[in-house]
Structure formats: C-alpha cells, structure tokens
Amino acid sequence: MCWAHSPLWCQVKELGAAVYNCSCLAQDLGKMFEVYWTLGLPNATIPSPWPANYSTTYNKETPLELKLNGTEAAVYFSSAPPALCAPGRTDDLQSLLSVIEGAQEFVYVAVMSYLPTMEFSHPRRFWPAIDDHFRKVAYEKRVHLRLLVGCWKHSKPNMFPFLRSLAALQDNRTHYSLEVRLFVVPANETQAKIPYARVNHSKFMVTDKVAYIGTSNWSGDYFLHTAGSALVVAQGSAGDRRTLREQLQRIFERDWNSRYSRPLDAQGPWETLCSAR
C-alpha cells in the first residue's frame, strides 16, 4: 500500500509491460540500452551511422513473430529521437503514426500530455503530425477515436484549445467520431503537497489491431529531441484467451468510464477541471 511519504511511483498512475522467457526481445531491447549507455560515456558523440552491433532486424516492416501467452503476435521496439535509431530500428513517431493509420475500427489513446506543437522550442513552432493523422482517419475511414488526457496542476493551458479543436469533429450528422476526456487522479490535502504527483502518467494506444505502450508525451519535442521507446504488439483474436491488445483495451475502457474521467466540455477554467480534490 502507498502512503503520502511513499516513493513517487506510488503517487503517479503508470502502465507498463513485462515480457518473460523471450531472449530475442530482451536482447533487442538490450541494444537500445547500449545506445543510451554509450552516450553516457565521457566525451560521447552520436555516431552516424551507428555500428552494426547496435542494429536490429525487428521493426515495423519485419516484426518479431512469436507467441505471447500462447497467442500469435508480431512485436518490435521503436525508439526516439531518430538520431538514436540504429540501422533497422523504427523511429518512434513513424511507428505511432503507422498504428493510427492501420486502425480500421477504433483508436484509443491515454497520454499525460497532448500538444500539436514543439512544446519547448523558441521561437514557437506548430507540429501537427499526430493531430493530422487523427483527423485523417476520422474523416477518411470513419475510425472511432477516443483521447484520454491527464489533467493536473502542471497541465499546459494551451493544451485545452487544441483538445477542443479535436473534439469539435464529433458530429452526429457527419458521423465523425472523436471524443476527448480528461483523467484526474484524486488527492487529499496531504497528497496534494507532493510535487509532480497525482497524475495519469501513462502513454499508450490501443486499436482494433495493435497495442502500443510508449514512454513519450505526445508533443513534437518528445519524438524529435528526447529519448524514448515503445513496445508495439500486433495481435488478432485468441478466442477464449485474452490477448495483450484486448487487455490494454479493457484498461482504457475502465479508465474512460471511471469516475476519474471528466468531460472536456465541462464548465469552468481548466484549473477547476483539473482539480484533484
């Protein structure tokens, strides 16, 4: 049980994945760790290209085919930023966009922060890569999109107009379906004093075809300038067995329908909407 003075990870809602008894995946993830380790050495520079020992054969085009919990799956790791992608490694942004493009029925996203901008760049830059793909699949394929965004006292005020812009596509007459809700982790008086806590820190996406579990907030800087990675798993139906993709879908639907999920169109300033009490 987590108390007010417990480690911070007890005060932040997270989601991750553990894979057991799969040396191929472990070795491939180990190559990504070695990239970080190499760059942590004194006077390190980013090689171009990366040496062959960092390369991979598992990627968006040729994923590792294996069984997860007895069910056929196609799996790979993506990485960001592009400069840290050794030969064969799929760039994380391209992986994410391909998952959105490949959906036929729905795209559900849970993320702490969503901004179609270069959040930390000066001068300011608009960055619509993900935003455009949302609108494209909603318009061209009538895919049902749901976006569940973390809402806390550190949320950026300019995030909310962009979220409302996406939500404005929801229309019963045209049958575009794009819903946005805010996820607020409650806090009592003591918990509210813990810095950078009481927030949904998860970053994942699930579609009717793929589970994507990442580490990056969804704004440009995180994919272009910040180290991050994602586990991408494509799985079909497994009959009575619940696949990883189906488990992730159930987690999203649980959170979406929970009392911690609030409508974006609720009245009041965003500080009130994101109040954790």
Is 151 within a domain? Answer: yes
Half-sphere exposure of 24 (CA within 13 A, CB side): 12
Q: How far apart are CA 253 and CA 259, in angstroms?
A: 12
Please report the pLDDT score of residue 186 as a whole number.
Answer: 78
Give the domain range for residue 156: 54-200+213-272
- Looking at the domain assignment, is residue 4 inside a domain? no
Global pTM reads 0.92
pLDDT digits (tens, 9 = 90+) for 150-183: 987 878 889 999 999 999 998 878 888 999 999 9
**How long is the chain?**
277
- Is 128 inside a domain boundary? yes
pLDDT tens for 35-72 read 999 999 999 999 999 999 999 999 999 999 999 988 99
Q: How far apart are CA 31 and CA 118, in angstroms?
A: 28
Is residue 28 included in any domain, yes or no?
A: no
The owner of tokens 């895919």 is: 143
Please give the tally of structural domains in the chain: 1
Place of tokens 């553990």: 18
Per the CB < 8 A criterion, the answer to whether 126 and 94 are in contact is no
Report the alpha-carbon distance of residue 110 to residue 16 in Å, rounded: 13
Q: For residue 31, tell me if it sits in a domain.
A: no
Mean pLDDT, residues 72-77: 97
Tokens linked to 232: 């991408």
* Of the candidate ranges 62-66, 170-174, 221-225, 267-271, the one whose mean pLDDT is the lowest: 267-271
Burial class (CB in 10 A: 0-12, 13-18, 19+), 167: middle
Residue 18 lies inside a defined structural domain of this protein:
no
| Residue 268 belongs to some domain of the structure | yes
What's the one-letter identity of residue 185?
V
Closest by CA to 208, choosing from 232, 181, 231, 236, is 236
Contact between 212 and 93 (Cβ < 8 Å): no
User: Is position 9 within any domain?
Assistant: no
Q: How far apart are CA 221 and CA 238, in angstroms?
A: 37
Q: Assign residue 82 the CATH number of its domain.
A: 3.30.870.10
* Residue 163 CB contacts under 8 Å (≥ 6 apart), including other chains: 114, 147, 149, 180, 264
Q: Is the peptide bond before 123 cis (omega within 30 degrees of 0)?
A: yes
